[in-house]
Structure 1
């Protein structure tokens, strides 16, 4: 199969896409929190895989580490572009807030607040730490597969993941504490005028 992919066999490449496009999409959704952007990442990943098909090696039986390594590089570029876009949008006059796709992504999770805090905390990790967390924890790659995907030794993956888990746990707890403190603040008082038959006296602090 690898020989056929390297040789440019369209049917073999279609099989590669069918096998791994779902994995790339789920990984991209978790990293970006944006389903539309994740679809772009899938397209760019497999366009790049086709361009680089002759570099596919026969290390192991699966092409998963190779595909995910390309996806990681695509995500590095797209997230940089997304940050520049957000910074540009932040300089524009404020408009009505659009719904966040992240809520759709985490909707089926039992503890959405903790996951949201973990996503915020994840953004505070170093890029190298984020990548091993998303590959090994979220996308289920083994240490060896993550090593191939990132082009670093297995020992480096292990040490980065251990360090990242400790930092992620601490930063997540800090985010949860911030959220708890924010929700305990009193809301602004707004007076209302009762209408006919309305027993409401107003909103109290």
Structure 2
């Protein structure tokens, strides 16, 4: 019998890990951006997520009944994003204690046109940023990444009831903005038995570099 991708990844199969990267790298990048609010930081989270996934590959349950593999990977990404945000706060705190530099006039602000869609996305990002960490995490999984309650609970390592209550609180905190017309209503969570949607991977060069980086890391 041909081994499953779970079993191959657990055994350190490089090709299987490459397939994992191809299938989920872009989705993980979007998930990381929703958690951090910064594209550059999200790229760092993607690299660290697959590095950490390679390091933790022996913890993958090879039994297919353990649930979708993406739940495990999103769980790794969420933990990585937490650590990155924590490090960013420490850095910001240290920088705040330094003497402030003299302001330099930025004439670009005078010529940059405001785009309505960009404004709306900025409002959404700012609103989500005001949520508590756990509410923001469950919102990004259930609303934007299409996770059902059970899969989100598996990714976050919490009971399904906790996912429901956190999502409910997050929605209530955003209702005032929706009612004011500043952001659009959020979609409902995915059905529990929804099949993962196929997502295009990143470029071959990106994958090769990331996989090579993970493979060369000592276990």
- Within 2, Cα distance between the matches of 1:162 and 1:86? 31
CA deviation map 1:72-125 (0-9, x unaligned):
0000000111122223333441444999xxxxxxx7xx6433432232222222
Q: 1:156 to 1:97 in 2, by over 3 A?
A: farther
- Select the residue among 16, 21, 26 that pairs with 2:20: 16
Deviation at 1:68?
A: 0.3
- Select the residue among 44, 52, 55 that pairs with 1:51: 55
TM-score, normalization: structure 1? 0.71
Which structure would you say has the larger Rg? 1
1:165 match? 171
Q: Does 1:121 align with 2:140?
A: no
- Within 2, Cα distance between the matches of 1:97 and 1:48? 42
Deviation at 1:50?
A: 0.8
8 Å contact from structure 1 (residues 118, 168) kept in 2: no
Deviation at 1:59?
A: 4.1
8 Å contact from structure 1 (residues 118, 172) kept in 2: no
Gap runs ≥5 in structure 1: 100-106, 177-205
Q: 1:59 to 1:130 in 2, by over 3 A?
A: farther
Q: How many residues of Structure 1 are paired with residues of Structure 2 in the alignment?
A: 167
Counterpart secondary structure, 2:44 = helix
8 Å contact from structure 1 (residues 136, 143) kept in 2: yes
- Within 1, Cα distance between the matches of 2:79 and 2:162? 18
Counterpart secondary structure, 2:35 = helix
CA RMSD after TM alignment: 2.6
1:185 match? none
1:75 match? 81
- Select the residue among 124, 127, 151 that pairs with 1:145: 151
